[in-house]
Amino acid sequence: LAQGLKVLGECRRKTRISSLVITAFGLATIVLNMLLVEDIIRIQDSIRVVREYEKFFGKGVSSPRTLACFVTTFGRARDPLELIAHENTASMYYSFRGFVRSFFAMSPGSLDGADVWLAAGNEDLLFHTETNKHGRPKLRSIITQLEEACPPEVELIAFVNGDILFDASLVHTLAALSSWHNASKQPFMAVGKRSNHGLSGRIHISEVASKQTDLFQSEDYFIMSRSLIDWNALPEYVIGVTAFHSALADWAHHRGALLDVSDTLIALYQTTASGGQAAEDPANNATLAGVRVES
């Protein structure tokens, strides 16, 4: 009897171990499938970008041409949806690799954002972003770093708010801006309206157009020729604080052509409970040159 109970106990122990192994294998398979689905969607997004490029330049393109260098930044997510917004943004830029060289501007407040950026497969970081005494990044510091890091043969640069998504129309727009710039030789800045979308989950390039709502007048992206501005002369506008967007567009208007690309470029703003409001800062942009605040 004792020997029989010992054998029975051993069988039960092995059964429990087998069950645990099977359960662990099942969970690992589910996670792997989720990762594979995510990778497949990202590959499909990249294929869509390539097809848009081929529509403009013709099929049989042997290698993509880098049309522009973009920079963005975002800090620690304040709620789960804002984290998803950051993940959406990082994945979008990864899909544009080869056509857009994308950089993330590092600062003490954006370390968590950099983790999201790298987890999506992106590689390029700008490490020496200056901030004001409240820790907010200065635009001039970000753009001067971008100018240095961007390959000299790339004609266009851009700063984009971290909660903006584009679809493959970005490729058409950048190609058209590059062609116009080469023909006209005019320095320029391109801005445009956006659509607002109440975020509820992941969004991929193929879904951006379907999420559009009425266009909203707000400058959330700035695509520029590299010859537009002496960035060292730019006032120390702070990102994420009232009034810098309009001030920058006005600054560019007096130094080159100011273009509206709202009709060609789909830009989607991901709204969350903690996003969408300019940060309050005692040292705000309203005190800087070129800023006019309506009373």
| pLDDT surpassing 80 at residue 23 | no
Q: How many angstroms separate the CA atoms of 124 and 154, rounded?
A: 16
For 33-42, 64-73, 184-193, which range has the lowest pLDDT when averaged over its residues? 33-42
What does the pLDDT read at residue 219?
81
| pLDDT surpassing 80 at residue 174 | yes
By CB neighbour count within 10 A (0-12 exposed, 13-18 middle, 19+ buried), where does 165 fall? buried
Q: How many angstroms separate the CA atoms of 168 and 152, rounded?
A: 24
What does the pLDDT read at residue 209?
87
What does the pLDDT read at residue 270?
92
What does the pLDDT read at residue 236?
83
What does the pLDDT read at residue 188?
95
Work out the pLDDT band at 83, boundaries 50, 70, 90. Answer: very high
Mean pLDDT of the chain: 78
Residues 91-111 pLDDT 10s = 999 999 989 999 999 988 888
Q: How many angstroms separate the CA atoms of 69 and 10, rounded?
A: 64
By CB neighbour count within 10 A (0-12 exposed, 13-18 middle, 19+ buried), where does 192 fall? buried
By CB neighbour count within 10 A (0-12 exposed, 13-18 middle, 19+ buried), where does 2 fall? exposed
| Of 239, 240, 238, 244, nearest in space to 279 by CA | 240
Put simply, whether the predicted model's pTM sits higher than 0.85 gets the answer no
Neighbours of 37 (CB within 10 A): 10
Q: How many angstroms separate the CA atoms of 148 and 101, rounded?
A: 13
Q: Give the C-alpha distances (Å, rounded to integers) separating 252 from 118, 161, 229, 246.
A: 32, 18, 7, 10
What does the pLDDT read at residue 261?
93
| pLDDT surpassing 90 at residue 132 | no
What does the pLDDT read at residue 218?
74
Identify the residue with better confidence: 2 or 259.
259
| pLDDT surpassing 90 at residue 142 | yes
For 25-29, 42-46, 252-256, which range has the lowest pLDDT when averaged over its residues? 25-29
Work out the pLDDT band at 294, boundaries 50, 70, 90. Answer: very low
Residues 200-220 pLDDT 10s = 999 988 899 888 777 766 788
Percent with pLDDT over 90 in the chain: 43
Work out the pLDDT band at 18, boundaries 50, 70, 90. Answer: very low
